[in-house]
Amino acid sequence: MEGSSNGNHHHTDGGATAQMNHFRPTKPGGGGGRSRVSRIQTPPCTEFDKAYFQSYSHVGIHEEMIKDRVRTETYRSAILQHRSHIEGKVVVDVGCGTGILSIFCAQAGAKRVYAVDASAIALQANDVVKANNLSDKVIVLHGRVEDVQIDEEVDVIISEWMGYMLLYESMLGSVIVARDRWLKPGGLILPSNAVLYMAPVTHPDRYAESIDFWRNVYGIDMSPILPLAKQCAFEEPCVETISGESVLTWPHVVKHVDCYTITYQELQSVTASFKFQSMMRAPLHGFAFWFDVEFSGPANNEEASSLTEPPKTNPSGSHRRKRAHPDEALVLSTAPEDPPTHWQQTMVYFYDPIDVEQDQVIDGSVTLTQSKENARFMNIHLEYASGGRSFVKECVLR
């Protein structure tokens, strides 16, 4: 997990403190996208938001993300692959953090890059830009994307907005605001699409380590602690790495996100029904969630994305189309069988496992909603049934 104030944060946001950009004076009004601003409803900056932005002033979070080679190198490859859309064009980087993606865009020939971040890490980003002699191209704006002023329309939006379980932290909302404020018709958004998947999982080692341990502790029966141990271990979602062999079925699509058309309202509540058929006899310990994002150009986006219902290839979920040609869309995957990333997978464990037979059906529904307490938290409501028994599991990713 990220090294932040609550242990669960993931990356910077283009949303922000009330403080406006430090590095470029704001003007009242402004050109370009300004005609669209009045139609956009932007959420107020809450105390939760301020705490969230503050957590991103710690360099440790940015170090972990940058050292995630799968993440960083895929973004760099995507920028180079879409160089023709970036060269000589205006880019906005939503939640720029240390400024690395903005600098990649400048190196790819962008005319101008607006690097927006609400966290105080923007101060360091500005110094990094200066140290690399790119102050003439990269303009760091310290403030929420909802508040900063950019006096022109932009050709490209780039953002690393994905949180655990894709939608945790609600940062995609800031990308939507940037899109609706500034993006030219036919402009490019990187990444362009995302898909959240889920699948039932068996994980006996994890259960034995956290729960069965208490049955015999140095010869002492500590089983009275079991109920508390289950609550402490599994009450909240767990961000951890699972193996592809633990996945019992083909993955199911919970939500497909088209960054060109998604609305803020769609993110407030997501519901999906599922029906799985176990491929083996095993104890079912919970559900795993992971995501893919795709970097396709504006033209490609009109066609069907490769991120759709997975073909039945293997139960661990090699569900993505592999890139047969270099001009095909790049995909960044956090699936269990792919190289690990700092996002890992998000597990929702049951307090007690369910024994399932091969071909046994597991069906139900999942609802993900923004927490009313703090919109950056996610409420998870799972209803599931198998073998004639029904269950409900509720938890909060916080």
Instruction: Write out the H or E segment, with its range, that includes residue 126.
Output: helix 121-131
Angle between helix 69-81 and 100-107 (nearest 10): 30
Between CA 159 and CA 139 the distance in angstroms is: 16
Both ends of the chain: CA-CA distance in Å?
12
Can you say how many angstroms the Cα of residue 201 is from the centroid of all Cα atoms in its chain?
Answer: 21
Between CA 237 and CA 242 the distance in angstroms is: 14
Q: Which residues are catalytic?
A: 160, 169
Residue with tokens 């997978």: 345
* Among candidate residues 153, 132, 10, the one with its CA nearest the CA of residue 71: 10
Task: Calculate the alpha carbon distances from 192 to 72, 208, 239, 327 in Å.
Answer: 16, 41, 25, 15
Rounded to the nearest 5°, which phi and psi values hold at 384?
Answer: -150, 150
E strands, 16-96, are 90-94
3-state secondary structure 231-261: HHHHCCCEEECCCHHHECCCCEEEEEEECCC
Q: What angle do CA 329, 132, 140 make, to 5 degrees?
A: 75
CA atoms within 13 A on the CB side of 338: 21
